[in-house]
Chain A
Amino acid sequence: MTTNPIRVLIAKPGLDGHDRGAKVIARALRDDGMEVVYTGLRQTPETIAEAALHEDVQVVGISILSGSHNMLIPRVIKQLQDKDLSLLPVFVGGIIPDEDLSPLLELGVAAVFGPGTSTGEIISAVREAVERAAVSASS
C-alpha cells in the first residue's frame, strides 16, 4: 500500500454556484491526509477530464447541486473515456433524486453522495476505491 498522499480532483461543472458542500468535502479529505486539486466553479466536462489527466489524480469528485446532473455527468464520463481514463473512479455529490441514481451508477459512477452523507463515509469510499484500483492495476 502506498504511503504517498492520495490525489483527488474536486470540480463543479456547469453554472452551479453552490460550492460550500464541495469545499467542506475538500477540507475533510485534506484533514484525512489527501491532496485535493480543487478546480472550483464553472468547469466543463472537457476541463474536468483535462485536469484529471494532467494532475494524475486517483479519484474524481463532481459536485452538482443545480439539477443538471443527467446532462453533465454522462459528458464528464465520456470525456474521461476519450482520454483513456475510464478506470478512474468518479464520485458524484449533491442533490440527486432517487430515480436518477441507478442510471448514474450504470454509467460508471462509483457512488453518489446525497446531502446527508457524512464526510467519514466519503473518506472511506475514496480510500476503498483507490485500494481497489491499486489491486486491479497490479494484477
Chain B
Amino acid sequence: MSLATRIISGDRRALARALTLVEDGAATSERILAELHAYGGNAHLVGVTGAPGVGKSTLVSVLAQSLRARGDTVGVLAVDPTSPFSSGAILGDRIRMRDLAGDDGIYIRSMATRGALGGLAHATAAVVDVLDAAGFDHVIVETVGVGQAGVEIAANVHTTIVLMSPGSGDDIQAIKAGILEIADILVINKADLPGAEQARSYLHSTLMMGQSAAARGDSAQVDQADGRSLGWQVPLLTTVAISAEGVDALLETLLRHQDYLESSAELDRRQRKRMRAIVESLLRNRLYTRFVHQVSQKRFNALLQAIVSRETDPYSGAARLMEEFD
C-alpha cells in the first residue's frame, strides 16, 4: 500500500512520515503529493497570525476544541522561525495545546521556516495540501505574522484571522504593515488587559473608515492587497483565549466566513489563487534548475566578475545568458 493510500485511510504514522518527506523535499515527495492532490480541496483552510506573544497557540487550541465539539476534525500546523545563525529551531507551540492531546480527531504538527523569509516555510503549502487530503475538516496554520509575513499566510489559506493584543502598539503597527488588509477576522486577544477598550475602538473606527471608503467607491481603498470582495465586512472580536472567553463568537464568525466563501465566488477565487502560486513556484524552480544545468558555473562566474568590475552590467549580462538558454 502506498504512503498516499495509507494516509487516505487514516494512518497517522503514514501521514507523519509523508509530512517529513515533503518538508525535506525528498525525491519521493512529489509523487506522494501528486497522488494526494485528487483527494484534497475539501478542507477549510484557516490562517492564524499575529505578533509573538499575542496568544495565537492558546487561541488555536480553544478554537480547535470548539470545532471538535461540533464533531469536526482539525489538523493544526504550527510554524516557528528557524534560527538564521544555527539553522535549528525551537518548536514550542505544542506547549499551549496540551488540551488537544489524546484526541484522534486532532492532529498537530510543528514546522520550522527553514530559511524562508516571512512566516511560512517553502513546504508549508504542500504540508497543508497533505493535511487537506488526509481528510481533516479544517486545517489551521498558525504562524508569526509581522509585516509582510502576514500577507504570505493570507495567500495560503481561505480564512485569515489576525490576532492582536492591547497596549503593545500592535494597532499602529498593524495599520502601518497593512496587516488589517489581509484579515478576514480581526481579534483582540487578552481583552481583559488594560488598553483593550481603547484598542478595540481605535481599530473599529479604522475598519469603518476602510469599509465606508469602499462603499463610496473610493478606488484607493477598494484596491486592496488581493482585491478582496466587498461582500464580507471584517468583524472585530475580542477574546480572552486562556479562559475561552469570546471563542464561541469567534467560532460562529469563522463558520459564517466559511459559508460566505462557499456561497459566493470567493472560495473559488482563493483556491485558484493558491494553486496558481503553487504552480508558478514549481515552474520557477524547475526552469531555474534547467537553466543552471545549461550554463556552466565557470561561465556564470566569469560573467559575474565582469559585472563586478563594471565591464558590463547585470541587465546585459542576464540578457546574454537568456539568449543562450534553450
Say if A and B assemble together: yes
Which residues of A are interface residues toward B (Cβ below 8 A)?
2, 4-5, 7, 26-27, 29-40, 42-44, 46-47, 50-51, 53-56, 83-84
* 10 shortest interchain CB distances as A-B pairs: A40-B95, A30-B88, A56-B16, A47-B101, A4-B24, A56-B20, A33-B88, A38-B92, A35-B89, A31-B86
A84 contact set on B, CB distance < 8 A = 13
A53–B12 contact, CB under 8 A? Answer: yes
- B21's closest neighbor in chain A, by CB? A56
B19–A56 contact, CB under 8 A? Answer: yes
A29 contact set on B, CB distance < 8 A = 88
0 or 1 for each of B66-90: is its CB under 8 Å from A? (1 = yes): 0000000000000000110111111
A38–B90 contact, CB under 8 A? Answer: yes
B94 contact set on A, CB distance < 8 A = 37-40, 51
How large, as a class, is the contact surface on chain B? 20 to 34
Q: In the complex the two chains form, what is the Cα distance from A82 to B49 in whole Å? A: 36
B16–A54 contact, CB under 8 A? Answer: yes
A4 contact set on B, CB distance < 8 A = 23-24
B17 on interface, CB distance cutoff 8 Å? yes
If the complex has contacts A46-B102, A53-B13, A56-B16, are A38 and B91 also in contact, measured as CB distance less than 8 A?
A: yes
B254 on interface, CB distance cutoff 8 Å? no
Q: How far is the CB of B323 from chain A (nearest CB, A)?
A: 35
Q: In the complex the two chains form, what is the Cα distance from A36 to B89 in whole Å? A: 6
**Residue in B17, B87, B110 whose CB lies within 8 Å of A37:** B110
A-B contact pairs, 28 of them (CB 8 A): A2-B24, A5-B114, A29-B88, A30-B86, A30-B89, A30-B90, A31-B85, A32-B86, A35-B91, A35-B110, A36-B90, A36-B91, A37-B110, A38-B90, A38-B91, A38-B92, A38-B94, A44-B101, A47-B101, A47-B102, A51-B101, A53-B12, A53-B13, A54-B108, A55-B109, A55-B110, A56-B19, A83-B13
Which residues of B are interface residues toward A (Cβ below 8 A)?
12-13, 15-17, 19-20, 23-24, 82-83, 85-92, 94-95, 98, 101-102, 107-110, 112, 114
B95 contact set on A, CB distance < 8 A = 38-40
- A26's closest neighbor in chain B, by CB? B90
Q: How far is the CB of A48 from chain B (nearest CB, A)?
A: 9
Q: In the complex the two chains form, what is the Cα distance from A56 to B112 in whole Å? A: 14
A54 contact set on B, CB distance < 8 A = 12, 15-16, 107-109
Q: How far is the CB of A28 from chain B (nearest CB, A)?
A: 9
B17–A36 contact, CB under 8 A? Answer: no
- A83's closest neighbor in chain B, by CB? B13
- B20's closest neighbor in chain A, by CB? A56
B12–A31 contact, CB under 8 A? Answer: no
B87 contact set on A, CB distance < 8 A = 5, 33
- B89's closest neighbor in chain A, by CB? A35
A7 contact set on B, CB distance < 8 A = 20
Q: How far is the CB of B88 from chain A (nearest CB, A)?
A: 4
- A11's closest neighbor in chain B, by CB? B94
Q: How far is the CB of B19 from chain A (nearest CB, A)?
A: 7
Q: How far is the CB of A132 from chain B (nearest CB, A)?
A: 18
Q: In the complex the two chains form, what is the Cα distance from A4 to B29 in whole Å? A: 14
B86–A42 contact, CB under 8 A? Answer: no
Q: In the complex the two chains form, what is the Cα distance from A27 to B107 in whole Å? A: 25
B16–A5 contact, CB under 8 A? Answer: no
A2 contact set on B, CB distance < 8 A = 24
Q: In the complex the two chains form, what is the Cα distance from A38 to B83 in whole Å? A: 15
B88 contact set on A, CB distance < 8 A = 5, 29-36
Q: How far is the CB of B29 from chain A (nearest CB, A)?
A: 12
A34 contact set on B, CB distance < 8 A = 88
- A3's closest neighbor in chain B, by CB? B24
B108–A56 contact, CB under 8 A? Answer: no
If the complex has contacts A54-B108, A54-B109, A56-B19, are A40 and B92 also in contact, measured as CB distance less than 8 A?
A: yes
A39 contact set on B, CB distance < 8 A = 94-95, 98
B24–A30 contact, CB under 8 A? Answer: no
